[in-house]
Amino acid sequence: MIETTPDIAGEIGKMPLFTGADPDALAAVVRATSRRRFSRDEQVYRQGAVPRAFYHVLSGHVRRAIASSEGEEKVIDIVSPGESFGLADLFGGAAHVAFAETVAPTVLLEIDKGAVMGAIEADRALMMRVLAAVAHGKVALERDVAACFFQSGARRLLDYLLREAGPRLAPVGDTVFQLPVSKRLIAARLGVSAETLSRALRELSEAGLITVRGREIVLREKLAVRCAAQAAKSAAAAVLEPVAHERRRRDAWVEQTSLARPLGSRAWI
């Protein structure tokens, strides 16, 4: 169902993509945006369809998946409130590689392709934010592919839980939240079987990192401490890397200079 409501401008304004956009360009985007309600298991767009808009989730969840000719499916993303999908598909003239389907009653903003293209032409800063958003999606996809090959099911699950907790992850004490979708769908998203997901939940529980109560997940303080330590280690590495790089460069220069000297030089004595 399509709705046209006066609060669309406010909802568009909350999207990071359009923060600080040119007012005229933003007004054109608002005029070309519809608020749509979907029931559960309703397709937003078909695999192979021509992209005509991108979408921003206000409530509910959407799964994006690729279906094979044999009827098998690979879930590539679960989109939550506050997130967008389909933006990269607007560029290049290709059809949608995946389909998008709701997994719960969902409300979306449908933002017309033409309005987006016009706004990009009028606002260079918006163009750069669009490029950044598309690049972020590409990097996330590459990270997911690498995780499927190089990480265990427990590691992938832990990364997923931490992403879902997001800023709610408390530095002190436990963090409690509800899984946004079924465990079956989470397993499909992570590329593991339901049995592997159950085993990963058990492993993390036995390690004292989480507690599972149905769809309620408790991230234990022990996990938060580990995350804080890892973050501090990464920050220190970022600070020390320029120093290490300069040391490696200097050592390489010394080695090259030494090798360039004649063997009979006093420098070898």
> Digits of tens for pLDDT over the chain (269 positions)?
555 455 899 999 899 999 888 899 899 999 999 999 999 999 999 999 999 999 999 999 999 999 998 888 999 999 999 999 999 999 988 999 999 999 999 999 999 999 999 999 989 899 999 999 999 998 988 988 888 888 899 999 999 998 888 888 887 889 999 998 999 999 999 999 999 999 999 999 999 999 999 999 999 988 877 776 665 555 555 545 555 555 556 555 545 554 454 544 443 33
- Domain boundary at 207, 222, 237, which? 222
Do 203 and 216 belong together in one domain? yes
Quote the pTM value: 0.77
Handedness of CA 125, 36, 48, 183 (dihedral sign): positive
Is there a domain that residue 267 lies in?
no
Sequence-distant (≥ 6) Cβ neighbours of residue 211 within 8 angstroms: 174, 205, 217, 218, 220
Query: Closest Cα partner for 84 from 41, 147, 132?
Result: 132
Is there a domain that residue 49 lies in?
yes
Do 133 and 176 belong together in one domain? no
- Domain boundary at 150, 174, 192, which? 150
Helix (H) / strand (E) element for 253: namely helix 221-260
Which contacts of 27-30 are long-range, i.e. CB under 8 A and separated by 24 or more positions?
Answer: 28/115, 28/118, 28/119, 29/111, 29/112, 29/115, 29/116, 29/119
